[in-house]
Amino acid sequence: MAVDSDTAPDTALRSGSVRFAGTVGSAVGIQAPAGGVSFLPALMAGVVGVAGPFAFGSAVIVMLFVAYAFVVFTREFASAGSVWAFCGRAVSPSYGLLCAWLLIFVYVAYAGSVFASNANGLVTLVAPGLIGGHGWLAFAAGLWLVTVVLTRYSIRVSTSLVFLLEFISLVLVAVVAVAVLAHGGAGGDTVSRLSYHPFSPGAIPIGTLGLGLVFAFTGFSGFEVAATLGEESRAPRRVIPWAMVVALLVSGGIYTLISYVETVAYPSPQALAAAAEHGVPLASTASTFVGSGFGTVINVAAVISGFGAQLATVNGATRLLFALARSHLAPAPLGVTHPVHHTPTRALAVVAVATIVPVLALYFRPPLEAFADLATYGADVIAVAYLLTVLAAIVFTARRRPLRPTRLLLLVAGAVLMGYVIKTTVYPLPVDTALRLYLYAAAATLLAGIAVVVIVRLVAADRLSAAPPLGTDPAG
């Protein structure tokens, strides 16, 4: 797999070092299904009530249209810059820079959120009394340190580890799901408890569906992080599109199924929502339906799964920043790789600081509330990034000859769906003050990105005069 001639050896990532399992693992790992389902369905119940499974399932459908846009691009290009390269070549370098800006903030926010949620899991295991205080920050800092060390040395090791950790965790979660369904849920009656109602559109007001969809994005958005491995994956144009779709279907299916399992495992959605205030809801479910010791096992599985998400988010943000620096749109030293490990260690140092700062800034919040703050903000931002990427794919497809009407129609449908999600999230403004603040923060991030693009065009137009370079030969 050839490296572009304008890419010096000390700015080249290690080509072909990530296998299919590692690429899939990274895409699944950032979604942390085994970890996320341990508490996200409970938080979702507080948003949409009994309709959590319907909200998660609907979000999967929306995400498949978004994933198609990334499939279109990753079948043509392979670059650590992901949306920077895709959108930059399809529309303009300025547009690509804005997309990359948004996605970096998403990955940083998601990384911080999983540090907080994993700290919650560890505290629940070893020192439950610390949940209401500030002691959980020490656990979050420890998880952060291990993540930085692993991502510094080898992308192959870190992505393979993500795959292995998630697989083990999902097996344990499956045991709980089978036990709950076999028992018939909280009522013990498979006819009355295991009903279709949680999947019914009538279970949720249409005005609330948008909020549910965006909240679902906190669970399984991020599948596109596999695109940042374009220069390190083997046969990226074949592997990465499949990895993203497989990851989305696996994670989306798991979130939908386990949301249903937890919904029927509790006597009411209110009880499920309240369970998040006292620990890990899925662990409580495991203790009830499998055995008291298995609740502890699920806690461990949730932390293991979340650790994989830490690795995936930090890897993704690091490679996006590295790609921008290599194109001289970020400080040039950040576009240099380690001479031995061939990892972007300088970009990693910046990302590492950026991911721990918001966690420490939320010291006054319980860990799951800190998670909700960062993850919901990230979901609001990624919804915009997804819409911009789908629009870029529409432009890219419309310019190609021969024109492919089916592809264009699917992409337009994706843009309409994402537009609907964003519209219902923004208007009318949520009554909840926190949800409004997340939207304001996301809007500020978008406006700041636009300002950065304008400034770069004014003071360094030559840096945006050419299409983003690809790290590998597109034929790879």
pLDDT at residue 391, rounded to an integer: 97
Output the average pLDDT for the chain.
83
Closest by alpha carbon to 257, among 324, 202, 178, 169?
A: 178
Output Rg (C-alpha) for the chain, integer angstroms. Answer: 21
Q: Is 233 helix (H, G, I), strand (E, B) or coil?
A: strand
What gap in Å lies between CA 72 and CA 75, rounded to an integer? 6
Judge contact between 324 and 81, C-beta under 8 A. Answer: yes
Q: Does domain 16-464 have CATH number 1.10.10.10?
A: no
pLDDT one-digit tens code per residue, 436-459: 999 999 999 999 999 999 999 888
pTM of the model: 0.86
pLDDT one-digit tens code per residue, 266-296: 888 888 888 877 667 888 888 889 987 888 8
pLDDT at residue 412, rounded to an integer: 96
DSSP codes, 332-365 = GGGG---TTT-S-HHHHHHHHHHHHHHHHHTTTS
Q: Is residue 299 predicted with pLDDT exceeding 50?
A: yes
Q: Is residue 309 predicted with pLDDT exceeding 70?
A: yes
pLDDT at residue 74, rounded to an integer: 92
What gap in Å lies between CA 383 and CA 270, rounded to an integer? 28
In DSSP terms, which residues pair with 122 in a beta bridge? none
What gap in Å lies between CA 417 and CA 74, rounded to an integer? 21
Ordered alpha helix ranges (H), 221-291: 236-265, 269-275, 281-289
Name the more confident of 307 and 107. Answer: 107
Which amino acid makes up residue 87? C
What gap in Å lies between CA 346 and CA 336, rounded to an integer? 7
Q: Is residue 310 predicted with pLDDT exceeding 80?
A: yes
Name the more confident of 10 and 462. Answer: 462
What gap in Å lies between CA 422 and CA 75, rounded to an integer? 27
pLDDT at residue 66, rounded to an integer: 92
**Range 150-164 average pLDDT:** 69
Instruction: Tell me the residue ranges of DSSP E strands in 82-202.
Output: none
**Range 339-355 average pLDDT:** 87
pLDDT at residue 131, rounded to an integer: 65
User: How far lies 442's CA from each of 103, 329, 372, 383, 396, in Å?
Assistant: 12, 22, 14, 10, 27
**Range 33-62 average pLDDT:** 86
Long-range contacts of 274-279 (CB under 8 A, 24+ apart): 275/42, 276/39, 276/42, 276/43, 276/46, 276/368, 279/124, 279/128, 279/131
**Range 164-193 average pLDDT:** 77
Q: Is residue 383 predicted with pLDDT exceeding 50?
A: yes
User: Is residue 10 classed exposed, middle or buried when 0-12, 13-18 and 19+ CB atoms within 10 A define those classes?
Assistant: exposed
Judge contact between 51 and 261, C-beta under 8 A. Answer: no
Q: Is residue 195 predicted with pLDDT exceeding 60?
A: yes
For the chain, the domains span 16-464
pLDDT one-digit tens code per residue, 201-259: 776 776 677 778 878 877 777 788 888 888 877 788 888 898 889 888 988 899 999 99
pLDDT one-digit tens code per residue, 121-145: 888 888 776 666 788 889 999 989 9
Q: Residue 395 — pLDDT band, cuts 50, 70, 90?
A: very high
